[in-house]
Structure 1
Amino acid sequence: MKILVGCDLGYQASGPATLILNIQPAETPRQRVLRETLAITPEGTRTESWTVPGTGNRYLRIHAEAGTALSIHHEAEVELSPHVVDPAGVSQTAPAELPPEVLPHLWPSRFCESDRLERLAQREFCGTPEGHARVTAVCNWVNDRITYLRGASAPTTTATDTLLSGAGVCRDFAHLAVALCRALGIPARFISAHAPGLVPPDFHAVFEAFLGGKWWLFDATRQAPLDALVRIGQGRDAAEAAFAEIHGAATPTGMAVRAEVLEGLDVARGARTTLAVADAAEAP
């Protein structure tokens, strides 16, 4: 499957500013960047880039002087080889059998206060079958109770804030689902991605749960086909996987995001939102 992704971002610096962007697709065994273009204006703007070992998150740091109007253009053609299986065969992993590197994804984090949701999670989900079915039940529960509403949340909104308000965007859906999974003893982590078929086009937030010795993708918003998601970043929550951080005096002036399937998938097939799709960083 080949997917074309990209974005155009604009920022105005009224004083010295540093931007840290995580907008480029990760390179994984099942996600290969075939070609890529990155252009920053004004020419000569000081930049640095690096990839974080273990996560594949690719960061771009941009330094802007006062008065600079920054423009960032990115485009990449990505080849995906998703690993899709029958969800019924994806079992739950007992905490005693979790690899040490997975354990931090059981703990509460800045935006996912799982320790505050344990009684709710036990009451709502302990009667559901374990494994992929239980995480799917969490997604269904979040989707039924939270209204997708742009402008309903802020950058500081947490999972419990979303639960109380009853509305949010993809980031909030992911945070609440992650927190509920962790409260059930299921490791979960936040994923930022490009999502073909998303209306309107934007960066998308989903999550992964660790089941049966692997990470599996889930989208509580049900807005995008799981097997066409192009992974950008991962973290315990959005604090570790934001597409942009601004340090200093700079404000956004524009954003346009693109994700188009070139070959290999009809994104109109909505049933593909409930598949069991393994983490692209693994090669089962």
Structure 2
Amino acid sequence: MILMLNVHPSRIPDLVTPEILTFDPPTSVRVYRDDFDNVCTRIVAPPGRVTVSTDFLIHDSGEADVVAPDARQHDVQDLPDDILIYLLGSRYCDTDKLSAIAWALFGAKKPGWARVQAIVDYVHERIRFDYQRADATRTAFDGHEGGEGVCRDFAHLAVALCRCMNIPARYCTGYLGDICIPPVPDPMDFSAWFEVYLDGRWYTFDARHNTPRVGRILMARGRDAADCAISTNFGAQQLVRFDVHTDEVIEETAG
């Protein structure tokens, strides 16, 4: 199995306590980084039930996602070479099926932040969140036509529409607790959002929630969910139980 359960290297300096994956029964592991600099753990799972767990404290700024209404969109010819991959179609972001739709909907929108926000607004209204309707094979186009899904479907559709409009976009997954918002009745899970490249940097957007949030903890990023799979198995397996928790811990200050 390949497990992508660690925080992204960009958040490692924020760890307050060690982040260690624990296996029961004990299992030998090998850790490596993939082409997107995500931390991957490679194991040969023993027969029978295997429990993988981790628990850690991480420091967060407490600030919400950055909002920059004046961030401009680059012309394609001005983009850095390593950004171009995030304009291309990918496994779950089938831009070829969405290009005409995207240009009809957003071609008249002001390029840059306003155009991205228009895409996020559209996806937020287009897809109905339903945890019971998760589908690992659903593409961005499928989500657009079916109008239902989970957070990854919101992210895939928004990413694909941005790419259709020549805005580099990449998929992200990680922890997102119910911090600074009213309690949410849905069971906690890992979350998916996306980033766009505007004005020489990456900005965070979230088509499911469509509001800046506090406490995102990035685990992995890539072209789509295929690059950020929490677990990849090479053989039969059954997920018996799955628990995710992200709880706010208030720092104590010396008095």
* TM-score normalized with structure 1 length: 0.80
8 A contact 2:172–2:195 mirrored in 1: yes
Quick check: 1:196–1:224 contact (8 Å CA) kept in 2?
Answer: no
Q: Whole-Å Cα distance in 1 between the matches of residues 140 and 73 of structure 2?
A: 23
Q: Indicate the SS of the match to 1:103.
A: helix
Correspondence for 2:139: 158
For residues 41 and 12 of structure 2, what CA distance do their matches in structure 1 show?
A: 23
Asked if 1:195 is matched to 2:176, the reply is yes
User: Any gaps of 5 or more consecutive residues in structure 1?
Assistant: 1-18, 265-284
Amino acid at match of 2:123: V
Aligned to 2:4: 22
Matched residues in 2 for 1:183 and 1:95: separation?
12
1:175-214 matches, cutoff 5 A? 175-197=156-178, 199-214=186-201
Stretches of structure 2 lacking an aligned partner (at least 5 in a row): 179-183
What SS does the aligned partner of 1:173 have? helix
**CA distance in 2 between partners of 1:177 and 1:59 (Å):** 26
Alpha-carbon distance change, 31 to 140 in structure 1, aligned in 2, over 3 angstroms? farther
Cα distance change of structure 1 residues 113 and 134 upon mapping to structure 2, 3 Å threshold: same
CA separation in 1, counterparts of 2:232 and 2:165?
31
Work out the percentage of aligned pairs sharing the same amino acid.
Answer: 32
Deviations 1:19-64 (A, max 9, x none): 2111111121796222123211112x222112336x3311112212
The worse-fitting range, judged by mean Cα deviation, of 29-38 and 114-123 is: 29-38
What is the aligned residue count? Answer: 243
- Say whether residues 1:42 and 2:37 are aligned partners: no
Residues 158-205 of structure 1, C-alpha deviation per residue, up to 9 Å, x if partnerless?
Answer: 011111111010011100000000000001111011001164210001
Q: How far apart in 2 are the matches of 1:236 and 1:122?
A: 21
**d(CA) in 2 for partners of 1:156, 1:128:** 31
Q: Deviations over 1:105-137 (max 9, x none)?
A: 101111001122111111111222221121111
Measure the CA separation in 2 of the matches of 1:71 and 1:201: 18
What SS does the aligned partner of 1:231 have?
strand
In structure 2, the residue matched to 1:126 is 107
Secondary structure at the aligned position of 1:50 is classed as: strand
Of the two structures, which has the highest relative contact order with CA contacts closer than 8 Å and spacing of 6 or more?
1
Partner of 1:254: 241
Q: What's the counterpart of residue 50 of structure 2?
A: 70
